[in-house]
Amino acid sequence: MSLNNQVLDRPTSQELPYVEANLTYLTPMAEKPVNYTYEPPPGIPRTNGTYQTYKLPISNARSILENISLDREGFVFTEHNTNVRNFYDEDEVRRVYYPEAEQLLKEVTGATQVVIFDHTLRNAGKSKPSENNIKEPAKRVHNDFTAKSGYTRARLELAARGIDDIDALLKQRFAIINVWRAMSTTGYAYAQPIQESPLAVCDAQSIVATDLVAGDLVYRDRVGETYAVTYNSKHKWFYFPQMHRNEALFIKCFDSVEDGRARFAAHTAFEDPTSPADAPPRESIELRTFAFYPT
């Protein structure tokens, strides 16, 4: 068999039941982890944490689409066409994509009210920290909010929007859900799927409270709190290989209820061993949203 035939016969990531890849976890530490989102003052490290990689199986979740839920595993996946032509256009994202995603979230989650409060573009090829807001893929296992900061961020964002009676609103069940999507604009109708640095999501049922380590995330104007994650051999990892721009992944990063439903679905970008060496940098957008449920 020729080398060319060997390459053609190699299974694609969509055909494989799983891949094995390195995931980066926080090493347990005595002090509280601190990470700066910008270059800190001289003498202060960007992070005080140390990290270790583990080679782990990451299962292809496309084969179990009908058997996963936000309230059990902490993530779901659906097809959804968007009318956005250029995700790098801030106005178009807010004018077109926000309303699309708000309606989709209501349909997927059953929420009666949705507030989209933030979005992040990721593209390692275009990221220039001092010049734009485009970020590189985050390659450490983490969760965007903690049991504390879910409420803190909700109060901050709702107050900024002039929403009345925040206390009453936060007494009902609400969740913070990320909406994650490929956003390649190359060729638009023929955009390539994500191949480089896809996103892995950890089944929330396989995470125990002691795996989650609250740490400060320092911005120039405020300090947030996120969970870093320490290694646990029971963690179960999944991903959706070769995501297209007409597909959306929902990740639950916080839930106000504590009744056994998923609350924190850890996630991370990773180097996919099936990715071609010349794969273009991953282009993705994630929305951060509040979903308020009926009382």
pLDDT 10s digits, 55-67: 999 999 998 999 9
pLDDT score at 6: 39
Confidence band for 7, pLDDT divided at 50, 70 and 90:
very low
pLDDT score at 282: 95
pLDDT score at 202: 98
pLDDT in tens, 192-221: 899 999 999 999 999 999 999 999 999 999
Average pLDDT score over the chain: 92
pLDDT score at 192: 81
pLDDT in tens, 44-102: 999 999 999 999 999 999 989 999 999 999 999 999 999 999 999 999 999 999 999 99
Confidence band for 294, pLDDT divided at 50, 70 and 90:
confident
Averaged over 104-123, what is the pLDDT? Answer: 96
pLDDT over 90 (residue 138): yes
pLDDT score at 216: 97
Query: What tokens does 43 get?
Result: 């003498």
Confidence band for 13, pLDDT divided at 50, 70 and 90:
low
pLDDT in tens, 247-279: 999 999 999 999 999 999 999 999 999 999 999
Whole-model pTM over 0.95 = no
Burial 218-233 (b: 16+ CB within 10 A, else e): beeeeebbbbbbebee
- Stretch among 6-10, 36-40, 132-136 having the lowest mean pLDDT: 6-10
pLDDT over 80 (residue 130): no
pLDDT score at 3: 38
pLDDT score at 132: 85
Q: What percent of the chain has pLDDT over 70?
A: 93
pLDDT score at 48: 95
Confidence band for 4, pLDDT divided at 50, 70 and 90:
very low
Confidence band for 164, pLDDT divided at 50, 70 and 90:
confident
CA-wise closest residue to 75 among 295, 286, 271: 286
pLDDT score at 12: 60
Confidence band for 295, pLDDT divided at 50, 70 and 90:
confident
